[in-house]
Amino acid sequence: MSAETAVQEVKKSEPLFSKKNRKLITNPLDIDNPITVQVLGICSALAVTTQMKPAFIMALSLTVVTASSNAAISALRNTIPSRIRIIVQLAIVSLWVTLVSELLKAYVYDVSKQLSVFVGLIITNCIVMGRLEAYAMGNKPWPSFLDGIGNGLGYGMILMIIAFFREILGSGAIFGYKIFEAAGIHYQGNGLMLLPAGACILVGLIIWVQRSINGYREH
């Protein structure tokens, strides 16, 4: 795929949040969702969703990384030799991920300890690489940046839904706050929800619900 065959050509006079650009953010939330439609990034969706707090930070970090690597790769897209483009993309992604991780370590040490390996795992997240290959290599930096934000949010939204059900059913809490205990009800956590299998079932249910609402069919 070469940069010349750009999928979308954004004219200079186009406003920053034109209809087309807004679509870049809203589409991944629903009909183009990275997890439920493209089925990317499943691995981390299963790994970090036992509690809502790490899921939230993960979603935030992924959004930052996807948006900034998308913008960086898009700016470089006309210079990248196609034979080594994957490794160039990987280098840029790792650069951002390492910077995010170093900043977390310096300024929010508690959170960085809680996330530990998860931040590093963003490098291997299929969504980031997927957006770079499918979008940033053929589009201008600003739309690419929005596309990254959109996909990060689409990923984050599903992550939060899964984490909500897993945390409340698995450990009876929301954001670490034990609601059943506070209400004086004894709640025996459902162990299945704490295992990756619980997340798999939830992803399946979410896909079912989403597709029955928006009528999406595989072509």
**Footprint of other proteins on this chain (CB under 8 A)?**
50, 79-84, 87-88, 91-92, 94-95, 98-99, 102-103, 105-107, 109, 194-195
Nearest residue (CB) to other proteins, 9 versus 102: 102
Nearest residue (CB) to other proteins, 25 versus 92: 92
CB of 19 to other proteins, least distance (A): 34
CB of 24 to other proteins, least distance (A): 27
Q: What length does the chain have?
A: 219
Nearest residue (CB) to other proteins, 37 versus 73: 73
Nearest residue (CB) to other proteins, 8 versus 78: 78
CB of 23 to other proteins, least distance (A): 31
CB of 135 to other proteins, least distance (A): 20
Contacts of 153 (CB under 8 A, 6+ apart): 25, 28, 29, 59, 63
How far apart are alpha carbons 33 and 3 in whole angstroms?
Answer: 24
CB of 47 to other proteins, least distance (A): 8
Other Cβ atoms within 10 Å of 109 Cβ, number: 10
CB of 218 to other proteins, least distance (A): 34
Nearest residue (CB) to other proteins, 174 versus 194: 194
Distances (CA, A) of 162 to 7, 112, 207: 33, 22, 12
Nearest residue (CB) to other proteins, 10 versus 90: 90
